[in-house]
Amino acid sequence: MDLKSNIPEGAISEKWTNHKFNMKLVNPANKRKYTVIVVGTGLAGSSAAASLSELGYNVNAFCFHESPRRAHSIAAQGGINAAKNYCNDGDSVHRLFYDTVKGGDFRSREANVHRLSEISVNIIDQCVAQGVPFARDYGGLLDNRSFGGAQVSRTFYAKGQTGQQLLIGAYQAMMKEVNKGGVTLFTSREMMELVIVDGKAKGIIVRNLRTGKIERHSADAVILATGGYGNAFYLSTNAMACNVTAAWRAHKKGAYFANPCYTQIHPTCIPVHGDHQSKLTLMSESLRNDGRVWVPKKKGDTRDPKDIPENERDYYLERKYPSFGNLVPRDLASRNAKYACDEGKGVGPTGLAVYLDFAAAIERLGENTIRARYGNLFEMYERITGSDPYTSPMSIYPAIHYTMGGLWVDYNLESNIPGLFVLGEANFSDHGANRLGASALMQGLADGYFVIPYTIGNFLADETPGACNADQSEFKEAEQEVINRVNTLLSINGKRTADDFHRELGMLLWDKCGMSRNAEGLKEALEKIPKIREEFWKNLKVPGDSDNLNSSLEKAGRVADFLEFGELMVRDALHREESCGGHFREESQTEEGEALRQDDKFCYVGAWEHKGENKPQELHKEKLEYSAIDLAQRSYK
């Protein structure tokens, strides 16, 4: 199948405007006849459900949490970008567009990014109207800050809880529609299968996590807003329940999975403390504004950091990148921490950590200034580690944080399966190979509030409403598949828990397909993953039954899908023989050891097609063309 990106004609800044005019509309009186399923109630899902219901569509919204407000969008700390130029510092739609494409290392779709930048301003207006309490200055105007090394202050924020406030805003907007009857909410439902009728996405099969009941739901279109797959790595900053299942089930029903190897690694997380660690906690990147990163020069130096004299410390970021120093982009900061630890210079009990030292900043600015800037972060650090960052340097290490890859979508956010739309982190389109700070919230809300309400109409206008019902054979077959899979998981009765397998897969992916990769390691992983999977289906132990709340069973289903997905991620990483964005491919580096992108060979979206169980997926390429910006190598020296 050809990948048709359906990018509208015209100049980059005219495309979305023209497209909005050219798209078909559904008559207001007819909208209520259409039903749309929205899976996931994070920023993208809630905002889509609310906006579609406001237009008059019937929306059935599903989430696996007990309440839609629990989605992991809630944990985003930093902020949301918008090209408002309230600071009069030279920002514009074009600059945000430019920064995002460049930040994504020229692997995102130019037209989508431009639309995102255009819409960014509307998002802020919408959120303020809903009552999102953004930070304000003493004049009562919105406050902005510069974030993630951006040269303009375009980030809107609500203390360190921007994601929470935006999600609550979208959640409330959706609950308002639930109250009006436009949205029907299905909580504690996990999507287990996508149902395709005559080649179009027409429904889903879900499992009620409280009762175990498998349910069939039909609709005229299906929207997936199910987040990213960072938890494939077992340890990540994602919430415990984040998973790839919905996207993977869609992929196995024919949806292409694009750029699965594009994952983002956040440099400042609290390091792993032991074997039983369940997740990693992110510390805001802003810490690098005042903290200095260092390791001991001597290998295996176990002295207390205070006892290591200045001349025996290696401030490696300042040494290697004199002009950016500790503020290099996320990927460089992360990769260099790994190198230091690989060399045996890592600190802490596991040797997998580097110091982030505030001593110099405290001396220069005083403890009170540092407390005012980072007080809550320092408190959080101390609560988790029991160590006081005012007196002893923090230990940090990179962790998986966000996934840029996702289901392939065209300009309309529609996958290659007609009627299946994918929003937010679950799709691939806007961040290329690396996402800029404060852009994830922007994209989730842009997709939900301002893109899908237009583009879904264009699709539905040609559909007969209510053409399918959940009693059709396609639904019953899909339901039976799900029941069989659940029963199989429960009947294996082996010796290892799902967590155990998950940990094994995660370690392998982190090791071979993490910050820095090479063909040899990737090939090794590609051999090992099927073996883990094989053992999983023979030696898994799931306690309990399927007719009530059973989180072990939920987990097992998700791990089963990670075990298949992980292989695709490695396959994608292996084929992409270039270093770009968050990924360093060891075979592709400059003489100075920096990332070397290969535009002549890899300037495309790699979209993978499922070809059957245990068969290698087939690669399809969507060539990326840049008309408004020239391709250029990044340099932070």
Partner 1 sequence: MSDKINLTLNVWRQKSPKSAGKFEEYEVKDVDVNSSFLEMIDVLNEDLTKKGQDPIEFDHDCREGICGTCGAMVNGRPHGPLKNTTLCQLHMREFKNNETITLEPFRSTSLPIVKDLVVDRSAFDNIIKSGGFISAKTGSGQDANSILIPKPDADDAFNSAQCIGCSACVAACPNASAMLFVAAKVNHLAKLPQGQAERKSRVKNMVLAMDKSGFGNCSNAYECEAACPKGISVANIAAMNKDFMKAGIFS
Q: Which residues, 448 to 507, sit near partner 1 by CB under 8 A?
A: 449-450, 453, 495, 497, 499-500
Binding mask 423-452 for partner 1 (x = CB under 8 A): --------------------------xx--
Asked if 43 touches partner 1 (CB under 8 A), the answer is no
Q: Which is nearer to partner 1, 349 or 593 (CB)?
A: 349
Q: Which residues, 44 to 83, sit near partner 1 by CB under 8 A?
A: 47, 50-51, 54, 65-72, 74-75
Binding mask 146-185 for partner 1 (x = CB under 8 A): ------------xx-x-xxx--x--xxx-xx-xx-----x
* Crossing angle for the helix pair 473-491 and 551-575, to the nearest 10 degrees: 100
Active site residue 154: no
Residue 524: CB minimum distance to partner 1, A: 27
- Tell how strand 155-156 and strand 144-145 pair up: antiparallel
DSSP 396-453: EEEEEEEE--EE---TTSB-SSTTEEE-GGGB-SSSTTSPPTT-HHHHHHIIIIIIHH
Residue 210: CB minimum distance to partner 1, A: 6
Closest to 185 in 3D by CA, of 193, 196, 177, 197: 177
Say which residues have a Cβ less than 8 Å from residue 261's Cβ, sequence separation at least 6.
405, 513, 569, 570, 572, 573, 576, 583
Q: Which residues, 252 to 281, sit near partner 1 by CB under 8 A?
A: 273-274, 276-279, 281
Q: Which is nearer to partner 1, 231 or 427 (CB)?
A: 231
Q: Which is nearer to partner 1, 101 or 438 (CB)?
A: 438
From the list 70, 207, 330, 533, the catalytic residue is 330
Q: Which of 124, 225, 361, 468 binds partner 1 (CB under 8 A)?
A: 124
- Tell how strand 292-296 and strand 354-357 pair up: antiparallel
Which residue type sits at 183?
A: V
Q: Which is nearer to partner 1, 164 or 516 (CB)?
A: 164
Residue 376: CB minimum distance to partner 1, A: 10
Say which residues have a Cβ less than 8 Å from residue 410's Cβ, sequence separation at least 6.
3, 4, 5, 6, 416
Q: Which residues, 376 to 405, sit near partner 1 by CB under 8 A?
A: 380, 383-386
Q: Which of 86, 98, 339, 636 binds partner 1 (CB under 8 A)?
A: 86
Contact 336, 320 (CB under 8 A): yes
Q: Which residues pair with 397 in a beta bridge?
A: 269
Query: To which H or E segment does residue 158 belong?
Result: none
Which residue type sits at 261?
A: C
Binding mask 518-547 for partner 1 (x = CB under 8 A): -----------------------x-xx---
Asked if 601 touches partner 1 (CB under 8 A), the answer is no
What are the tokens at 535?
């053992």
Q: Which of 210, 303, 611, 621 binds partner 1 (CB under 8 A)?
A: 210
Contact 191, 204 (CB under 8 A): yes
CA dist 542 and 105 (Å) reads 43
Q: Which residues, 336 to 355, sit near partner 1 by CB under 8 A?
A: 349
Asked if 208 touches partner 1 (CB under 8 A), the answer is no
What are the tokens at 502?
């998950």
**First and final C-alpha spacing in the chain:** 43
Asked if 187 touches partner 1 (CB under 8 A), the answer is yes
Q: Mind telling me the catalytic residues?
A: 330
